Structure 1
Amino acid sequence: MITIPKLHMVLLGSRSAGKTSLGNTLLGNKEQEVGKWTARSVARQGFLGQTEITLVDTPGWWKGFPVCDTPEAIKDELMTSPFQCRPGPHVFLLVIDADASFNAKHLLAVTTHMDLLGEGVWRHTIVVFTRGDWLGTHTIEQYIEGEGQALQSLVEQCGNRYHVIDNKNADDGTQTTELLGRITETVAGNNWDYFVPDEKIYLAVEKRKKSVKKGALLRQSQVHAKRKTLRDSSKELQELTVVMLGQKTSGKSATGNNLLCKEVFATCQNESCQVGTGDVAGRLVTVIDTPGWRKDPSRCTQEMDIELVRGLSLSPLGVHAVLLVVPLDLAFGELQQAALEDHMDLFDASIWKHTMVVFTHGDKLAHKSIEEHIEREHSALRWLIDKCENKYHVMNNRKKANMSQGTELFEKIDEMMAGNGEQLFCPEMNDIYLRIEEKFRRRQLKHVLKQRLKEEYQKRELKLMEGFKETLLQLQADVRGNVTSTKSMSQTKGIGLRKKEGTKKKENIDSKISQEIEKLEKDIRTKSSEVLQSSKDFLVPSVNGESPAPSIAYSLPDRKSSTGQFDKVLRWLSTLQIGTNVDNQMTLKFSQTSGYGSVLPHDNLDFDTELMNES
């Protein structure tokens, strides 16, 4: 086997896949602590046999989460990892844990994160399966075959380059020797070239870092100045009541337990509100935990919203603070903002004066300040922080014994109360329940309007297709008439070869038209079936406020996807706003240029009204 004097490698993979353990095995030491989360890309040097190696360990992504859910800081570390071993790595070792399943979601997570590194990365990539002892008597090929299409597709994308490592037998030198052989084959197959990263990526990340630091320092100074002013007028509250809000799996329950310094709330997904109390640092603290909302607002039901807001009724006099929990280990983007607004809008606008963002998974900040995280992330997070007037706090729920996290948060709540004139947040619950009813009534209206618009669109498309068919039939009749005339002339006047060629061309045209008519008739039959099916799917909302249940037909697997133009219409319709006019009638707030001016009767919906203006 040819020996490579120097070898550059980058470890990639999801969290807890065994990247760091593999690095220790290759380097023959345990310099890097196994099990500890890697917060940034780190280059390590050592020898593998006679080969001097530089090994770059990188932060892992959440398994099953695509790159859009990964924080910007992690993406930056992944994109700049090849620059840790200039001029670039020879190979990327993509680590997959063999003790867990691998499905389509995991494949999407891998491919979207690998795409961050640019073109050509797959030619330099080897899949390394860790925890090979879990395979038992099965071979790695049997495992790949048994996992299905997703894993097979990944291995094929890497040119069927893979290797398996048994982490429990790290001292077995044959494993690393065989892996080195596979690496050498890969490097040789790439003409011994490095993977050369795009320098523009590095420059862009470095430029962004400078901008982030500048914004972070400005935000820090603003927060410190405001806190200093409020601290002088604040007083320590002897009794404190807080309500926890946030998306599912954000860490609300764990944070509540941390604040109370005891295990009160189950950290699994709670479906109902719970109350916990405790004496903490001389204060009587009451924590109200609520069910988290879903990332997709359309999956939230009216019952879920009612239960969520019920938490406020558990403290009739009001709450001192609304703690809005946001995890640091996942991105906060437009989808998260939409879900948050969908639920915060149930309360009156004054809720923001009483709201503080609590960031969980504080250990994921590592070497960064929270302000740097805020400035680096999507603008949606800065919108949220600005909405809360720069009131935020960081919790590391792994450090349960660290009571200072809770006491610092309580001090910030004291200051917030001083800024609010010592007023508690005590909204009118009847108003909230009315907003919930209105929210789901509007959702039902939108559902019905979309179905009606879809049906109308399909009818018009069918009409156009039938009109086109008539045009083709007329054209075919004209062509056939000309063919008959040409044949007649050829027989009576003895027209030669050129006339025969013209006849042949017309017959070919006639044949093509027949084929198009046949295809069109098939499409018309399909479209007619869709129009009929759409009529069956059309559900008028029930009067008891329940969402219309989708019919069986709506879930059929062979339903065709919408056309691109129709998708545009639906995206526009999804932004539709419904209000009331002077007569208290439901009114659609269309743009001035849309040409619509519809009014929906409050009780008796007339859906026979034309929804689309004739052009």
Structure 2
Amino acid sequence: MASGNSASITGKNSDPSELRIVLIGGRRGGELSGKTSVGNIILGRDAFDTNRTTTSVMRQEMVSGRQVTVVDTPGWRSSHPLDLTPKLIQLEIQQSLNLCPPGPHVFALVVRLDLPYVGTGMSAKEHVRFLFSDRVWKHTIVVFTVADKNKMRPDLIRSNYQLRYLTEKCEGRFHVLNINDRGDGSQVTELLEKVGQMVTSNGCHYETEEHVSEELKEKEITIRRRAEQRRADTQRQTTGLPKDVGLTDIRTVLLGRQCSGKSSAGNIILTGSGFKVNRGGQRSVQCEVRQGDVTGIHVTVVDSPGWWYNSPLQDTSEMDKLEIQNSVSLCPPGPHAVLLAVPLDEAFTKAMRVAVEEHMTLLSQRVWSHTIILFTHGNRVGNRSIEQHIEAEGEDLRWLVDKCGNRYHVFNNKRKDDTQVTQLLEKIEDMVSANTGGHYEDDGDEKVSERKRNIEGHVLTFMTKTHRQRTALKALFEGERQSLVDVRLMMVGGKMLDKNRAGNHILQQSVFTETPFKEFKTQTKLTECVRQQRHVSDRTVSVVNCPDWSTTTPPSQKTKDVLLHGVTLCSPGPHAVLVTIDVRSSFSEADRRSVEEHLELLGDRVWRHALVMFMWGHWLVERRVEEYIESEGEPLRWLLEKCGDRYHVLHGTKWDISEVNVLMEKIEDMVTRNRGHFEPSDTTVNTSVRDTGHFTAEEWNRREEEWKKREQELIDRMLKFAVKDQEKTTLPAVRRRHSMDRFPPSMSGGTKSEAGSSYRWSPDRKVSDWLKRNPGPIASSSGYDDTMSVITQADIDVMSVRDEDVS
């Protein structure tokens, strides 16, 4: 209800012999808040079904000589904003007040204390204010529930700003209840005493204004009337169609977003076919085909990857797009039905409509005439009809249903019975009959298959290249590898949530704030660099998180100042600049251009110290990140090449210290090649500790920069040649050099490294001297001919790297 829903605070004193309580609150995933259990504990019996509440229920009981009425209401998702709560659920909560006329004395806002409660406070505030009014807080007490008495810790409430905020809104009223200790009558007595004090203080019950009640009644009548009309239209639409079109083979494709329940629906259709269900980050990343016999019909089901939540098509990775396009070719000659999964436990917003419409265009406009909406999680509708849900949700869901020719079906994902599957197959036959017996065909099948083959070939080439390049680096700098005990990292790009989670993963502690839900309106935006430091695997690791940057706005001087401030926080400079990329999303040309423009504010040398860090690696499941890289095409390949093909993948749902250790090894390899950390081009070199000899400080700096540049160019040429040389079918024998001559000279002289070891070469030893001692004709392509190779095939065979080093 709109914020105009106000409540009266005037009226007669409440009758102390009667108490009316309405239970409200959220839930987190499959874990309940304990709201229904609180009602049972107050009434002293199993008055409510502790399974998920889908409709408001009223129960009464005499408790300590007083008539107590408790109304249990459906719960919202505790981490979700109001606009993701289905409209019917909102209406049920609002109409719950009609079950305890003339109105409740108390709203018990139930919050689970021993489960993650990030986002709970903001979500509760938004729901309560909209569904009732701000004045409802005067009649509300927060009931924190736990399932273990050892976790009954009020200090957690005071230390967490979201929980503290809720109690402050309720004027400090709260109670902690152990829902697994129903035998302890004292905790109920104490709760009722607090409730009684509040009722006495208020002197009245909460009362909804008459015009608001009338609006709710009118809305209910409108929903029911339109639902009946839609049901009648659906029945009329199949009238006259042949009921037996003779199908002995039905082919279907499942489409939908992640967590839509489509894989579970496929398992129900084929009675447990083994499709991957999204649990613990496991999702369908490739199309899977399963077959089985259902009531005498051979049924083929193709499950496809789900797109990320309600992201538009442009944000979906090319790898996932290609798989979705490929789905219809896996049940030749084509599917009879495309089953579009839409979950009933969330509101269907405009963003979801856009996401569905755009992703369906991956096939063709003809697909709509072969599509049936498969509403999943039907167990959460309660005693309401699906038509009521459609009409209550509004124009976006009605548009989708109409676009699919008013064809829809409901699946209860918790119940596996033949009836719901049989009815679905009957609706598919009706649709096939309406389509004159035809199935869906896509003209682009061959192009999709060809593109998949090309990508697979490129993946092998790219992995071979990076493997050999990394192996060549290890050989090139053998004996010179720096082991860092103090690692300084700077994270740039990406979104705040990506970088914060990456920082927490690297430091193995929750030191950066993580917003629980990317659309939550109250999330803050990082505007300044934030530095955190922890001890990880015998290293002191410092991570500086830089503010997000825009892909649509060119960087400004302020942007440069902020980035330079991030470098300063890594004083004397970061060992690595980590460019974070979300593998759930596409990497566009705009993204590439943004990275280039922002990083080059720090100078050209920053690329030598940059490493691409792919976030949310669990989204790939068993697929390699190289498939994502090659699918994305030129923009991402450009970035990888610019960063010297240095990249790493971090899991998105768990902290894995082994992933961090491998990342540190890659950073140490990079620091070894760079002979140190990164400093911006315009940073003045402190020469006070150096013996400048016959040169002025300015001349020394100029010459040192030139030497470093020439040294780096030599290393780059040697690496490129080594990789190219190893790609040949046969390699000539290569003379192994002594360790002194195998490496280009360092211009750092005897200056100690950050690892504590000294460099071998004196400051007057130039790159040209090294070249003279290692003669060989110049090759036009790589700079040196085969006799200058620094690594042999035998080296590669011996110095094999682990899979983690490749990805």
Query: Normalised by the size of structure 2, how large is the TM-score?
Result: 0.53
Runs of 4+ in structure 1 displaced over 6 angstroms?
Answer: 531-537, 552-555
* Structure 1: 5+ residue stretches without partners: 438-526, 538-543, 556-615
Tell me the residue number matched to 1:566.
Answer: none
Confirm or deny that 1:387 pairs with 2:387: no
Confirm or deny that 1:11 pairs with 2:39: no
**What CA distance in whole angstroms lies between the structure 1 residues aligned with 2:377 and 2:266?**
14
Deviations 1:264-301 (A, max 9, x none): 11211222211111111111111000111121225422
Tell me the residue number matched to 1:57.
Answer: 72
**What CA distance in whole angstroms lies between the structure 1 residues aligned with 2:62 and 2:182?**
15
Counterpart among 142, 164, 175 of residue 155 in structure 2: 142
What aligned pairs does 1:564-575 form with structure 2 within 5 A after superposition? none
What aligned pairs does 1:66-77 form with structure 2 within 5 A after superposition? 66-77=81-92
What aligned pairs does 1:154-173 form with structure 2 within 5 A after superposition? 154-173=166-185
Tell me the residue number matched to 1:548.
Answer: 591
Counterpart among 171, 190, 203 of residue 178 in structure 1: 190
Tell me the residue number matched to 2:434.
Answer: 419
Task: Rate the CA distance shift 1:47–1:554 in 2: closer, same or farther, 3 A.
Answer: farther
Counterpart among 123, 137, 140 of residue 109 in structure 1: 123
Deviations 1:347-402 (A, max 9, x none): 221110000001111122222221121111121110001001111111112111x1
**What CA distance in whole angstroms lies between the structure 1 residues aligned with 2:58 and 2:597?**
56
Confirm or deny that 1:325 pairs with 2:325: no
1:215 match: secondary structure: helix
**What CA distance in whole angstroms lies between the structure 1 residues aligned with 2:15 and 2:183?**
21
Tell me the residue number matched to 2:368.
Answer: 352
Tell me the residue number matched to 1:206.
Answer: 217
Q: Give RMSD over aligned pairs.
A: 2.8
Question: What code does the residue aligned with 1:273 have?
Answer: C
Tell me the residue number matched to 2:490.
Answer: none
Confirm or deny that 1:47 pairs with 2:57: no
**What CA distance in whole angstroms lies between the structure 1 residues aligned with 2:82 and 2:598?**
31
Tell me the residue number matched to 1:228.
Answer: 239
- 1:220 Cα offset (Å): 1.4
Tell me the residue number matched to 1:260.
Answer: 270
Verify the 8 A CA contact 1:3 1:51 in the aligned structure 2. no
* Structure 2: 5+ residue stretches without partners: 1-13, 453-554, 565-578, 580-586, 600-807
- 1:534 Cα offset (Å): 12
**What CA distance in whole angstroms lies between the structure 1 residues aligned with 2:385 and 2:146?**
35
Tell me the residue number matched to 1:245.
Answer: 255
Question: What code does the residue aligned with 2:239 have?
Answer: K
Tell me the residue number matched to 1:216.
Answer: 227
Question: What code does the residue aligned with 1:60 have?
Answer: G
**What CA distance in whole angstroms lies between the structure 2 residues aligned with 1:545 and 1:109?**
33
**What CA distance in whole angstroms lies between the structure 1 residues aligned with 2:81 and 2:591?**
32
Count of aligned pairs between the two proteins: 450
Pick the structure with more helix per residue.
Answer: 1
- 1:530 Cα offset (Å): 3.8
Task: Rate the CA distance shift 1:553–1:546 in 2: closer, same or farther, 3 A.
Answer: closer
**What CA distance in whole angstroms lies between the structure 1 residues aligned with 2:591 and 2:82?**
34
Confirm or deny that 1:373 pairs with 2:389: yes
Question: What code does the residue aligned with 1:389 have?
Answer: G
Tell me the residue number matched to 1:521.
Answer: none
239-248 vs 14-23, which moves further: 14-23
Verify the 8 A CA contact 1:78 1:117 in the aligned structure 2. no
2:252 match: secondary structure: strand
Question: What code does the residue aligned with 1:551 have?
Answer: V
Confirm or deny that 1:28 pairs with 2:44: yes
Question: What code does the residue aligned with 2:292 have?
Answer: G
Question: What code does the residue aligned with 1:12 have?
Answer: I
Verify the 8 A CA contact 2:146 2:152 in the aligned structure 1. no
Task: Rate the CA distance shift 1:328–1:139 in 2: closer, same or farther, 3 A.
Answer: closer
1:286 match: secondary structure: strand
Confirm or deny that 1:195 pairs with 2:206: yes
Verify the 8 A CA contact 1:8 1:88 in the aligned structure 2. yes
Counterpart among 311, 315, 321 of residue 327 in structure 2: 311
2:428 match: secondary structure: helix
Question: What code does the residue aligned with 1:548 have?
Answer: D
What aligned pairs does 1:434-473 form with structure 2 within 5 A after superposition? none
1:428 match: secondary structure: coil
1:242 match: secondary structure: strand
Verify the 8 A CA contact 2:329 2:445 in the aligned structure 1. no
Question: What code does the residue aligned with 2:261 have?
Answer: G
**Identity, % of aligned pairs?**
35
**What CA distance in whole angstroms lies between the structure 1 residues aligned with 2:258 and 2:53?**
25
Question: What code does the residue aligned with 1:404 have?
Answer: T
- 1:106 Cα offset (Å): 2.2
Verify the 8 A CA contact 1:3 1:50 in the aligned structure 2. no
Task: Rate the CA distance shift 1:227–1:344 in 2: closer, same or farther, 3 A.
Answer: same
**What CA distance in whole angstroms lies between the structure 2 residues aligned with 1:279 and 1:554?**
57
Query: Normalised by the size of structure 1, how large is the TM-score?
Result: 0.69
Tell me the residue number matched to 1:500.
Answer: none
Task: Rate the CA distance shift 1:127–1:530 in 2: closer, same or farther, 3 A.
Answer: same
Deviations 1:174-198 (A, max 9, x none): 11110011111222232x2111223
Counterpart among 57, 70, 93 of residue 78 in structure 1: 93
What aligned pairs does 1:402-417 form with structure 2 within 5 A after superposition? 402-417=417-432
